[in-house]
Structure 1
Amino acid sequence: MAYDLEEQEQLASLKAWWNKYGNLTSWVLIVAMGSYSAWTGWNYYQRSQSTQASQLYDEVQNAVTAKDNAKVQRAAGDMESRFGRTAYAQMSALAAAKSAYEAKDLKAAKAQLQWVAEHGNEEFKAVAALRLAGVLLDEKAYDEALKALAGELPAQFAGAVADRKGDILVAQNKLVEARAAYLAALAATDKKNPGRQLIEVKLEAIGGSVPETKAAA
């Protein structure tokens, strides 16, 4: 089929443009299509990972309920190796630490808490640090317990951290420092928090005085 002059000029222009930019355009399209495919695949992968992690977390919880510590530790270890980047892994590790502690397996409890401290988000890391310090306190590893609380933790945990430091310092018979820690715990703990009363009792038990609170106007 013959083209008229105008169509031939348009076709010549298109061929010239393609010769100059066609290869680049093809690569741009390939990259764009590849990026879209990768994004779609990643979303599918994430959904799949979340579903599988959720199912394994249920297994951890069932083992906890059954008080089968050996199974809890196996399932939690599987979770950490396969789905370590998910929140389920952090929750499983904390549950496994509690299970191990109750089973008197302090080595496993510390290992699970240390895993969270190294891989968890800020909130989970703080919870793990507090619990790890408690386990180390039970073992009379006082310096290690204080070291577990030495890192930078979220502000909302300041009261709990100071309270735990006070407990460790009391165990070391460092009562002056312990009183200061309990006072710091009170200052950082909301007045409506039921845990304040226990902090006050511990402070008074080592010769400290609870600060007077101003009456509401």
Structure 2
Amino acid sequence: MATHLDLEEQEQIDQLKHFWAQYGNLITWALIVVLGGFAAWNGWNWWQRSQSIKAAALYDEIERAADARDAEKIERALADMKDKFGGTSFAAQGAMLAAQSLFDAGKPDGAKAALSWVADSGSDDSYKAVARLRLAGVHLQAQAYDEALKVLEAPMPEAYAALAADRRGDVLMAQGKADEAKTQYQKAWDAMNERTEYRQLVQVKLAALGVNVAPSPASGVAQ
């Protein structure tokens, strides 16, 4: 009986050896790939968290400099942010905060540079759209109308299409192109949700151009 068991065990061992000889390398490499991928995933997550923490610290520095109205410190902190953490959302947020602070400090060129960077290099489409709208506004205030319209030519997410049309209307009005401005305001009004408060401002702009879009008392449908 013992001999029979020994022979059976030996046969199983021989089968295992044969299996390992045939598939051992494949199994080993598969384990290496799986474990390596797991380690890489953990390493990537750790790196992302580390980058976010460091980027948040630089954002706080920009915020403190903005509160102190220290334009030079804002520009230095923003340069560090773009250089080291340009791919993070903190970089886009920091750049837009810096742009507003620099504009308020009488440095429109610095504001335009910060907004242009977000519009061209931002990692989030929403931030890029907001940056373009604000950049067009800066050009509008500087009476650089062609530059403002050029900024607004870039494709934007659907959620920002109405605001882009409204901003184009403002630029065209400043150029004295009332009919073209009216078309853009109408496009903005049509695209906005009726519960959006900003829609009322667009309605006022249209009314100033002789366009009545107020709901009809009888039908409730926009005229």
Same fold per superposition (TM over 0.5): yes
The alpha carbon displacement at 1:92 in A equals 0.4
Alignment of 1:57 with 2:55, yes or no, is: no
The alpha carbon displacement at 1:197 in A equals 4.1
Q: Give the counterpart letter for 1:107 in structure 2.
A: D
Per the alignment, residue 137 of structure 2 pairs with 134
Q: 1:167 aligns with which of 161, 166, 170?
A: 170
**Distance in 1 of aligned mates of 2:97 and 2:19:** 64
- Deviation track 1:65-114 (CA, whole Å, cap 9, x = no partner) reads 11111111211221122122211111001011111111222222111111
**Distance in 2 of aligned mates of 1:214 and 1:41:** 61
Alignment of 1:102 with 2:104, yes or no, is: yes
**Distance in 1 of aligned mates of 2:93 and 2:140:** 23
1:173-184 correspondence to structure 2 within 5 Å: 173-184=176-187
Taking structure 2 as the reference length, what is the TM-score of the superposition?
0.87
Q: 1:148 aligns with which of 142, 151, 160?
A: 151
Alignment root-mean-square deviation, CA = 2.1
Q: Give the counterpart letter for 1:54 in structure 2.
A: A
Tell me the SS of whatever aligns to 2:153. Answer: coil
**Distance in 2 of aligned mates of 1:212 and 1:33:** 64
Q: Give the counterpart letter for 1:154 in structure 2.
A: P
1:26-65 correspondence to structure 2 within 5 Å: 26-65=28-67
Taking structure 1 as the reference length, what is the TM-score of the superposition?
0.90
Moved more, 85-94 or 207-216: 207-216
Q: Give the counterpart letter for 2:36 in structure 1.
A: G
Change (3 A) 1:11 1:196: closer
Q: Is the 8 A contact 2:203 2:213 kept in 1?
A: no
Change (3 A) 1:14 1:191: closer
Change (3 A) 1:197 1:5: closer
Q: 1:113 aligns with which of 87, 101, 115?
A: 115
Q: Give the counterpart letter for 2:184 in structure 1.
A: A
1:176-215 correspondence to structure 2 within 5 Å: 176-205=179-208, 207-215=209-217
Change (3 A) 1:59 1:13: same
**Distance in 1 of aligned mates of 2:9 and 2:164:** 80
Moved over 6 A (4+): none
The alpha carbon displacement at 1:132 in A equals 0.7
Aligned residues: 215
Q: Give the counterpart letter for 1:83 in structure 2.
A: F
- Deviation track 1:132-162 (CA, whole Å, cap 9, x = no partner) reads 1111112222122111111221222233212
Q: Give the counterpart letter for 2:54 in structure 1.
A: Q
Q: Give the counterpart letter for 2:82 in structure 1.
A: E
Unpaired runs of 5+ residues, structure 1, are none
Q: Is the 8 A contact 2:65 2:71 kept in 1?
A: yes
